[in-house]
Structure 1
């Protein structure tokens, strides 16, 4: 442990650093925790004063914790990297969620920054779904999500990728894209959060951070369901009364530390896929 680590431990956890908190007389046993010999012979008045000091420290600690948890402090980082999202970025808007659908995908998003974020989240869910492995459903998704020009440009390449026998067999599917017998194919995106990095009337750039579940659930599955983390950036354009994707980029992470949890059985995973439906992300 470095000297700096010792100072940090001392500050927050009562370690051997520079900041010390003494216990009132009578608590603990033997020598002082910092190496000194415990002093005795205190008067009742001195003990009372020590107790008052400890109570004061506790009160200040509670106040400090409350202040740290208030959020919205823009001065937490000198360069702004540590700025917390404003409450408006995750709070409900008060507006009614979209009620319509187009091609099975939520539609009718507001022509504003919040509507662009909601559209990006829903489009990511559709583009990352198992429906993309079905030619007819894939065409419907692409034509709904992308601008007309972009859909026309991307459709041939997507057909080539998603229909390629080598690709399909490499992920454990049959050459026709179906799941092997007694297995369930899983391809889902779970949005964690979105943010608009640019917004100007009819154009918007939205980042979406999400977790992805992908693989086969079943006893005989050769490619079991696993989890990945990505951030997509969608360039959106307001077209024909709706937000459409004009371009997008993807990068890995941020990836959280995995907990020491036992993986579920193939049967439990297959049941979960069948029993738990997806969400419509609109706010």
Structure 2
């Protein structure tokens, strides 16, 4: 999906059923037995030591699982949680969002409804690019007023000034009509216009501190969901490349390009009807993407 165009896991499970010590045998020892036996003589068992060892192993496993689930907590949070009860924090839940794969916290600020405040580093540039792609692939780009606001928010001043005219021509009335929309970018009554971009992954092509080039691989959904629609919602796979610069307060797009794919082989999934698509669009919100 361009700015001027419409837009099984194979779980590998492995089970290792090894016996204790890898012998596959059971050792039996008696309290008062002397020397002899297949294992070179039995010793008096110490049940208290075995119990303490078992408890310690369980405790270590619980701690390891809790630590893995915590993700990218900072040192102060980790220290306070460790000093607290053994339940894994006050609520027992991970402190980082699942979208923060590397442990970087997602941003909490927005400007004109667009996430902002991404870090001045490689990961911040990727996070900004992913979120900007979501906005540039949204239905807001099909309406003049919201499109201008989006362009002003995401692009440098110079780039925005040069881009608005060509975008107005790209999103012309005739183009919107071909999509089944009116001249203002609205779907027919009783129908829902769908335009969404979902980033699958990002990659830093180059990074120079004040500049960055980032690839965003995404799947786009575009079309009109409705019983009488002649433009059903379809998917497309593309890659956007953003050349970005650091403005002093955030990342801005200087220029962009787009190419098709990589496109997976289509599966055998049943296509949803218009009611299902309408319901999904209404019920499922988007994400704030962070690396």
Task: Please confirm whether the aligned pair reaches a TM-score higher than 0.5, indicating the same fold.
Answer: yes
1:151 matched to 2:151? The reply is no
Can you list the C-alpha shifts for 1:29-83, whole angstroms capped at 9, x where unaligned?
Answer: xxxxxxxxxxxxxxxxxxxxxxxxxxxxxxxxxxxxxxxxxxxxxxxxxxxxxxx
Alignment of 1:131-142 (within 5 A): 131-142=140-151
- When the two chains are superposed, the root-mean-square deviation of aligned CA atoms in Å is 1.3
Q: Secondary structure in 2 aligned to 1:185? A: strand
| Aligned counterpart for 2:181 among listed residues 162, 170, 173 | 173
Q: Which runs of 4+ in 1 moved over 4 A?
A: none
Q: Distance in 2 between matches of 1:219 and 1:133?
A: 22
| Aligned counterpart for 1:114 among listed residues 112, 123, 127 | 123
Q: Secondary structure in 2 aligned to 1:93? A: coil
Q: Distance in 2 between matches of 1:165 and 1:140?
A: 19
The equivalent residue for 2:242 is 234
Paired residues of 2:100 and 2:106 also in contact (CA < 8 A): no
The equivalent residue for 1:126 is 135
1:273 matched to 2:281? The reply is yes
Q: Secondary structure in 2 aligned to 1:244? A: strand
Paired residues, number: 193
Can you list the C-alpha shifts for 1:107-141, whole angstroms capped at 9, x where unaligned?
Answer: 00000000000000000000010011122211111
1:191 matched to 2:199? The reply is yes
Q: Distance in 2 between matches of 1:154 and 1:231?
A: 20
Paired residues of 1:109 and 1:116 also in contact (CA < 8 A): yes
Are the structure 2 counterparts of residues 150 and 161 from structure 1 closer, same or farther at C-alpha, using a change threshold of 3 Å? same
Q: Distance in 1 between matches of 2:139 and 2:273?
A: 21
Unaligned runs of 5+ in 1: 1-89
Q: Distance in 2 between matches of 1:175 and 1:204?
A: 36
Paired residues of 2:104 and 2:290 also in contact (CA < 8 A): no
Paired residues of 1:215 and 1:223 also in contact (CA < 8 A): yes
Are the structure 2 counterparts of residues 171 and 116 from structure 1 closer, same or farther at C-alpha, using a change threshold of 3 Å? same
TM-superposed deviation, 1:161: 2.1
Unaligned runs of 5+ in 2: 1-98
Q: Secondary structure in 2 aligned to 1:255? A: coil
Paired residues of 1:182 and 1:220 also in contact (CA < 8 A): no
Paired residues of 1:236 and 1:245 also in contact (CA < 8 A): yes
Q: Distance in 1 between matches of 2:209 and 2:234?
A: 39
Q: Distance in 1 between matches of 2:184 and 2:142?
A: 9
Q: What TM-score do you get using the length of structure 2 for normalisation?
A: 0.64
TM-superposed deviation, 1:91: 6.5
Q: Secondary structure in 1 aligned to 2:232? A: coil
The equivalent residue for 2:110 is 101
Q: What TM-score do you get using the length of structure 1 for normalisation?
A: 0.66
